[in-house]
C-alpha cells in the first residue's frame, strides 16, 4: 500500500506494478496527443487509476469516494495518478 495525501486526507492506495505504471503513462500521453485534451480518454484513464488503486466498483474502498463530489473525486484520482507516475517527485539516488 502507498499513502497519498489528497484533498486533506491520507489515502491508502494499492502499490501498482511497473507494467501498470507504463500503461498509465501511455494512457496519459494519448490523452494529450494532437494538441488538445481528449476528454473521453482522460476520464477512461482516471477510471483505470481508480481500479488500479483498489477503489473499483463493488470494493469496500469505493464507499470512501462515494461521499465526495464528482469534482473532488477527479481531484483525488489526479493526485493518485501523479503519485503513480512520479510526476514532480525527484527520486533519491
- Look at residue 32 in the predicted model and tell me its pLDDT: 87
Q: pLDDT by residue (tens digit) across 31-74?
A: 988 788 999 999 999 999 999 999 999 999 999 999 999 999 99
**Contact 84/49 with Cβ under 8 angstroms?**
yes
What predicted TM-score, i.e. pTM, was given to this entire model?
A: 0.88
* Alpha carbons 69 and 75: distance in angstroms, whole number: 10
Amino acid at each position: 500500500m502507498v499513502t497519498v495525501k489528497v484533498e486533506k486526507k491520507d489515502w491508502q492506495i494499492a502499490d501498482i506494478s511497473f507494467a501498470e505504471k507504463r500503461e498509465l503513462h501511455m494512457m496519459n500521453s494519448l490523452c494529450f496527443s494532437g494538441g488538445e485534451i481528449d476528454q473521453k480518454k482522460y476520464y477512461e484513464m482516471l477510471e483505470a487509476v481508480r481500479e488500479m488503486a483498489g477503489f473499483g466498483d463493488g470494493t469496500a474502498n469505493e464507499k470512501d469516494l462515494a461521499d465526495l463530489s464528482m469534482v473532488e473525486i477527479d481531484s483525488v484520482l489526479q493526485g493518485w495518478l501523479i503519485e503513480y507516475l512520479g510526476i514532480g517527485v525527484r527520486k533519491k539516488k
